[in-house]
Amino acid sequence: ESQYDYEVYHSLEEIQSWMFEMNKTQSHLVDMFSIGKSYEGRPLYVLQIGKRSRHQKKAVWIDCGVHAREWIGPAFCQWFVKEAINSYQYDSVTRRLLNQLNFYIMPVFNVDGYHFSWTTDRFWRKTRSKNHKFHCRGVDANRNWKVKWCEEGASSHPCDDTYCGPFPESEPEVKAVAKFLRKHKKRVKAYISIHAYAQMLLYPYSYKYATIPNFNCVELAAHNAVTALYSAYGVRYRYGPASTTLYVSSGSSIDWAYRNGIPYAFAFELRDTGYFGFLLPESLINPTCTETMRAVKAIASGLLKK
């Protein structure tokens, strides 16, 4: 693990072999399992991070790499695991978090798309599924959840980047995550999805302008998270309901998670705001992940206090 370079981007094969290595060498804190298979048959791996316990612990879900071209996402998920394990011995906050919570980390949600963006088309964002009626491939996995189906901010045309799929959960990747979260929804108290490009921390709703019932708690958690993030390098993140902070959309995984009873559902839009676009240089992996780590720890610590 010490040999692994967390400050460069990695191919899917490298990330998966890193996961196996983590599972093998850090077995006191790490467990690895597959929740299903992608459209192209690749396993959908999840790491469970946390101290083993006899009783069922509450949990936090983090997924990265929903959109293939946002490479900083998988880099952050790996960073999170590395930091959690390395700081467990000396950082009391991390120790408390890992002792009392489990973190389910899915470093690459859209495995087929991520592989495709590495090998063929750097700016691919969708999955790689194919509808037999059309020649275009892929679905925007974050618009494939059963929220407000395929309305504003989504497309029902398979050639579009925001194509929402033939029906909700038509993508095996989305179906697998939804099934896992439904199964564990009593224990999963926070859902976090990592994206890029806007420097924002968003929470439901994204499909309507109404305020969520537990707005005050979620707003406070978001405020604490962006404050913690700012404390690292002075980078400001906007935060708020996705509909008013970013734009109203057909709904995404955060809306789905919230509707399914997960009270804290967030989408991070990591660096940057358009200077590098989707081509965030490797030299910025470290600061981006360092500050985001603080934000995620703030959310999880707030959860524990609750």
Partner 1 sequence: YAGDQVFRITPSDDEEVQVLKNILGHMKVDLWQPNTASLICKNATVDVHVKRNDTQGLHAHLKQQHIDYGVFISNLQKEIEKQTGYRSSRKRRS
- Binding part of the chain for partner 1, among 7-15, 45-53, 108-116, 181-189 by CB under 8 A, reads 7-15
* Sheet containing 238-241: order of strands: 30-37, 43-49, 101-106, 58-64, 188-196, 264-270, 200-203, 238-241
Beta bridge partners of 140: none
Which of 70, 83, 171, 269 is flagged as catalytic?
Answer: 269
Residue 2 engages partner 1 in binding (rule: CB under 8 A): no
> Token match 């995620």: residue?
296
- What is the pattern of x (binds partner 1, CB under 8 A) and - over residues 136-165? ----x-----------xxxx----xxx---
Nearer to partner 1, 230 or 276 (CB): 276
Candidate list 123, 134, 167, 233; residue touching partner 1; CB under 8 A: 123
Phi, psi angles (nearest 5°) of residue 186 = -70, -25
Return the number of other C-beta atoms located less than 10 Å from residue 86's C-beta: 14
Helix, strand and coil in the chain, % to nearest 5: 40, 20, 45
- Binding part of the chain for partner 1, among 16-24, 56-64, 184-192, 279-287 by CB under 8 A, reads 279-287
Beta bridge partners of 193: 63, 267
Candidate list 55, 133, 283, 305; residue touching partner 1; CB under 8 A: 283
Candidate list 33, 56, 93, 282; residue touching partner 1; CB under 8 A: 282
Residue 210 engages partner 1 in binding (rule: CB under 8 A): no
- 169-208 binders of partner 1 (CB under 8 A): 197-198
Is the bond preceding 272 in cis, omega lying within 30 degrees of 0?
yes
Beta bridge partners of 58: 101
Q: How many CA atoms lie within 13 A of 47 on its CB side?
A: 32
Residue 280 engages partner 1 in binding (rule: CB under 8 A): yes
Q: How many residues bind partner 1 (CB under 8 A)?
A: 29
Q: Is 269 a catalytic residue?
A: yes
Which residues contribute to the site for partner 1 (CB under 8 A)? 5, 7-9, 122-123, 140, 152-155, 160-162, 197-198, 247, 249, 274-283, 285
> Which residues have a catalytic role annotated?
269
